[in-house]
Structure 1
Amino acid sequence: MKSFVIDDTTLRDGEQTPGVSFTLPEKLEIVKGLDKIGVQEIEAGIPVMGEEESRVFSRIVDLGLNARIIAWNRALISDVQASINAGADSVEISLPLSDIQIKTKLNKDREWIKNQIRRVIDFCVSKNLYVSVGGEDASRADIDFVTEYAKLVKEHGGARFRYCDTVGILDPFSTYETVKRIIEEAQIDVEIHAHNDFGLATANSLAAIRAGATHVNTTVIGLGERAGNAPLEEIVMASRHVYGIEDGFDHSCIKSLSEYVSKASGRAIEPYRPVIGELMFTHESGIHTDGILKNPNNYEAFDPAELGMERRLVVGKHSGRGILEYILKSHGLEYTSETVKALLEAAKNISGRKKRCLNNSEVIELYKSIAI
């Protein structure tokens, strides 16, 4: 697998999460964080939405970031003109490709779609814009029509085609085959835009990259419509540790940006969340803590230090003697085999009753009561 470009859409698709609304300072902080990580492209908003959205987009452009700043548009010349007025030199334009959306959403047909995309791309090219062209709901569209559309995009000067799994119904196998076919037949760069309705956004995005997709859409902590989009943190870390892709991303900034977006969006980072959840590096069971103490690689896919996180070994219902001996040793406390046995039994009982793990200070206090 080759390296790829991340086009993060936290400020566009991510902000479309019901109830999420970022302030100007929050948006500026988020794009700076994305740029610091090394995200190559940022979809920063929809200028045609109104004066405020346009002003915010302009402020982001004026930051002079390394990332390409992209404005999202419907396939309407008036939308594109609004983006140009806001300072955009790169645009994403989108039209539905599935028959259900063409007919029931737009009340149009396939010929209208083809004619409209030609007209709008030609306008964009005449304004010297970088043009990415999306196919909304492409995963439910006729594949022959999708490839025909992608060829039109290439012929009229579009830089790439965005293959959108708008309602999240793809699986990694069909994603791989379809993306590979589009690339081979249309000879155009492909971007994958995956939704997480069945928990497959990350897997589908990686499958698309494996098939040759050059770009992938992400959002921080997987924000987005319904179940969200492919999470930035999962795509970055999985591509490195599952596929061994060498990238230029600063992984140490991912956790802090995720926490910031979590606070700004009002969406909590669940403890069991992949990659950045605290339980990723929290170990309780005796088998696991024993293995971790001997070599962290026994039960961790990557070092938590990569994300600026720390490993936690805790005592609970499933703990063994090893973790208790480790805690006692680290605090310079003496113990016997019988002391550890009694301490383990007491700790398990308390943990089971309280339905939580014990912290180190609680273990030490328990030790003192037993050792007397």
Structure 2
Amino acid sequence: MKVRIFDTTLRDGEQTPGVALTPDQKIAIAQRLDELGVDAIEAGFPIISDGERQAIRAITGAGLKADICGLARTEQKDIDAAASVGLKYIHTFIATSDIHLKYKLKLTREQALAKAVDAVKYAKSLGLKVEFSAEDATRTDREFLKKVFKAVTEAGADRLDIPDTVGYSTPQYIAEITKDTIDATHLPVSVHCHNDFGLAVANAISAIQAGAQCAHVTINGIGERAGNASLEELVMGLQCLQFDKKYETNINTKLLYETSRFVSKIVGVHVQPNKAIVGENAFGHESGIHTHGVLSNPLTYEPISPELVGRTRWFQVGKHAGAHGVSAMLEEYGIQPTKEQTHEILEKVKKLGDAGKHITDVELLGIAGEIMQQPGLKRLVHLAGFSVSTGIGNMPYAFVKLNVEGKDFISTDYGVGPVDASINAIQKITGETSKVRIKDYKLDSISGGSEALCEVTIKVEDAYGNQASAKSVGEDIVITSVQAMIDGINRIMLKKILKQKNLGQ
């Protein structure tokens, strides 16, 4: 069975507190969603602003393969606004639960029903395709919900949507009302699930099993409060989990991680590291038991191949590491210590882990080089001197002194902030000496208060397209950024040198 993916990242996703997208940003995300293979894109809520209408008009005219939809209340002015920007498909809604009717709309059930019917008839008179949502459906009286869906079906609705507006449903209940709706109307049914109790994806899958043909989702599950059903989790769940029937989507799953990162960067909402499918730790392993299993057969501790979603697995050394993990990481650099040397390396790694130390690849190579008495396995780039100057009225300025393979280099540069100035100064040196440039920079706060910690992730690239990433955590954003940059440069230079050395042998 083919499941329709209706993406509402640009509408419900933008309702995430603190998120506001420009028209250009909306267009860029819409293009990525279209490349990903979504069937429908809810481009926005046309009535709310001139910028919203500008963005939707551009998206409808962009020649995308996906159906482009706009949200509208059951008001003629909303529907007119949608038609005015070139939309041929609207998603119109009105609340049907007694709590919404009494306290928000101040309408009776009969009045709400009449507004729903009138809106559908009016939209159809304009030649629009109509998907009707009964907002807060899962808290609506069950018989009244069926009555509303029957009435809008008779009025000409093309599709129906069951919103679990406050994430209140269970998988069992949403399956029951999905069956009710299908039996009463025989129209295609969608579900729009929120994640207030962490059940959005489970509820969406349960509704699909009960006969729903479409799920409303967002990239990374962003949205109001705890968010919406996550596109990547739903799609991979349908594709990979065991069901009585086979479910398929039009999503190119190899683009999931790339799309997740793109949206996260634009909207400014960090993806939690342990998030399923697209979280940084989703295919990361430290435990010696897990690493050993994955190296023997990835299916022992990975339910799916990371390449399926555009990822790669990675290993982390630390206090939970085992000999197999250490050996595998060193093998990436062409380094093969003896069994005894591996044990010594592991013991040192565990001691550092017990002290709360995060061990990077570069540090692991340094430990290996010391134990194996191979001085070439060490940091090639050292920070020998560093200072920044900033203040009101003065452009931030940085001085950096690096030791690169035994030679000292000095650089100064300006930037829009002290971090930018520092990285610019470093890149002046590494761009000339080792052809390494920064490709991506990401800053996250991982604790609050006056002594908050920040986490900086850097991706660097050399002239041959080789890439390496590094992460650093600290209290000072500038120093932490510089440390991450230096680690990233060391990683890519060591990889290149060791690769050349191994090829030469």
Q: TM-score, normalised by structure 2?
A: 0.71
Q: Is the 8 A contact 2:23 2:54 kept in 1?
A: no
Percent of aligned pairs with the same amino acid: 37
Match of 2:210 in 1: 211
Q: Is the 8 A contact 2:163 2:193 kept in 1?
A: yes
Deviates more, 1:128-137 or 1:41-50: 41-50
For the structure 1 residues 329 and 230, does the alpha-carbon distance in structure 2 shift closer, same or farther, using more than 3 Å as the test? closer
State the match for 2:340 in structure 1. 338
5+ residue gaps in structure 1?
none
Give the number of the structure whose alpha-carbon radius of gyration is greater: 2
Name 1:138's counterpart in structure 2: 137
Letter in 2 for 1:264: I
Deviation of the 1:368 alpha carbon = 2.6
**Which residue number in structure 1 is paired with residue 45 of structure 2?**
46
| Farther off after superposition, 73-82 or 237-246 | 237-246
Q: Is the 8 A contact 2:341 2:371 kept in 1?
A: yes
- Residues 23-42 of structure 1 aligned to structure 2 (within 5 Å): 23-42=22-41
1:106 positional shift: 1.0
1:250-283 per-residue CA deviation (whole Å, 9 max, x = no partner) reads 1122212211111111111121111001211111
Secondary structure of the residue aligned to 2:370 is: helix
SS of equivalent to 2:270: coil
Given the alignment of the two structures, is residue 274 of structure 1 paired with residue 276 of structure 2, yes or no? yes
Partners of 2:287 and 2:322 within 8 A in 1 = yes
Mapped to 1, the partners of 2:264 and 2:13 lie a distance apart of 11
Amino acid at match of 1:233: E
Mapped to 1, the partners of 2:330 and 2:128 lie a distance apart of 64
* 3-state SS of 1:279 partner: coil
Q: Could you tell me how far 1:45 is from its partner in structure 2?
A: 1.0
* Residues in 1 aligned to 2:262 and 2:341: alpha-carbon distance in whole angstroms: 44
Q: Assess, with a 3 A threshold, how the Cα gap between structure 1 residues 261 and 331 changes in structure 2: closer, same or farther.
A: closer
Deviation at 1:331, TM superposition (A): 4.1
Counterpart residue type for residue 369 of structure 2: K
The match for 2:195 is 196
Q: Deviations over 1:273-297 (max 9, x none)?
A: 1100121111111111111111112
Deviation track 1:315-354 (CA, whole Å, cap 9, x = no partner) reads: 1111112122334445444544332222211111112213
Could you say if the C-alpha distance between residues 263 and 155 of structure 1 is closer, same or farther in structure 2, counting changes exceeding 3 Å?
same
User: CA contact under 8 A between 1:33 and 1:253: conserved in structure 2?
Assistant: no
Instruction: Give me the whole-angstrom Cα distance separating, in 2, the residues matched to 1:281 and 1:26.
Output: 29
Cα distance in 2, alignment partners of residues 181 and 259 from structure 1: 38
1:150·1:188 contact (CA, 8 Å) conserved in 2?
no
Q: How many residues align?
A: 370
The answer as to whether partners of 1:47 and 1:53 remain within 8 angstroms in 2 is yes
Q: Aligned residue for 2:55?
A: 56
Distance in 1 of aligned mates of 2:115 and 2:47: 18
- Quick check: 1:304–1:311 contact (8 Å CA) kept in 2? yes
Which residue number corresponds to residue 285 of structure 1?
Answer: 287
Q: CA deviation at 1:306?
A: 1.9
Q: What secondary structure, in the 3-state scheme, does the structure 2 residue paired with 1:278 have?
A: coil
Q: Look up the match of 1:315.
A: 317
More helix by share: 1
Give the whole-Å Cα distance in 2 for the aligned partners of 1:49 and 1:328: 56
**Aligned partners of 1:180 and 1:212 also within 8 Å:** yes
Report the Cα offset of residue 28 of structure 1: 0.7
Which of 349, 352, 357 aligns to 2:351? It is: 349
Q: Secondary structure at the match of 1:66?
A: coil
- Match for residue 222 of structure 2? 223
Q: Match of 1:70?
A: 69
Q: Is the 8 A contact 1:153 1:160 kept in 2?
A: no
Q: Structure 1's 229 and 342: CA in aligned 2 closer, same or farther, altered over 3 A?
A: same
1:239: which partner in 2? 238
> 1: CA distance between counterparts of 2:45 and 2:219?
18
Aligned partner of 1:368 in structure 2 is 369
Q: Which amino acid aligns with 1:129?
A: L
Structure 2: distance between partners of 1:130 and 1:177 = 27
Shift of 1:57: 1.0
- In structure 1, the residue matched to 2:421 is none
SS at match of 2:105: coil
Q: Confirm or deny that 1:110 pairs with 2:112.
A: no
How far is the alpha carbon of 1:171 from its aligned partner? 1.3
- When residues 13 and 344 of structure 1 are mapped into structure 2, their CA distance, relative to the original with a 3 A threshold, is same
Residue 156 of structure 1 and its aligned partner are, at CA, apart by 1.1
Query: What's the offset of the Cα at 1:209?
Result: 0.7
Q: 1:42 to 1:333 in 2, by over 3 A?
A: closer
Deviations 1:85-115 (A, max 9, x none): 1111111110001001011111110110111
CA distance in 2, matches of 1:4, 1:290: 37
Q: Distance in 2 between matches of 1:266 and 1:334?
A: 42
The residue identity in structure 1 corresponding to 2:299 is N
Name the residue aligned to 1:21: 20
Q: Closer, same or farther in 2 for the Cα pair 1:368/1:106, shift >3 Å? A: same
Structure 2: which amino acid aligns with 1:150? F
CA spacing shift, 1:255–1:96, aligned 2, 3 Å? same
Corresponding residue SS for 2:276: coil
CA distance in 1: counterparts of 2:120 and 2:271, whole angstroms: 40
- Report the CA distance between 1:32 and its aligned residue: 0.6
Secondary structure at 1:44's aligned position in 2? strand
Amino acid at match of 1:286: G
Report the equivalent of 1:254: 256
- What is the distance in 2 between the residues matched to 1:329 and 1:256? 27
Are the equivalent residues in 2 in contact too, given 1:6–1:216 (CA < 8 A)?
Answer: yes
Provide the rounded CA distance (Å) in 2 between the counterparts of 1:48 and 1:133: 17
| 331-340 vs 120-129, which moves further | 331-340
Task: List runs of 5+ in structure 2 lacking aligned partners.
Answer: 374-505
Q: TM-score, normalised by structure 1?
A: 0.96
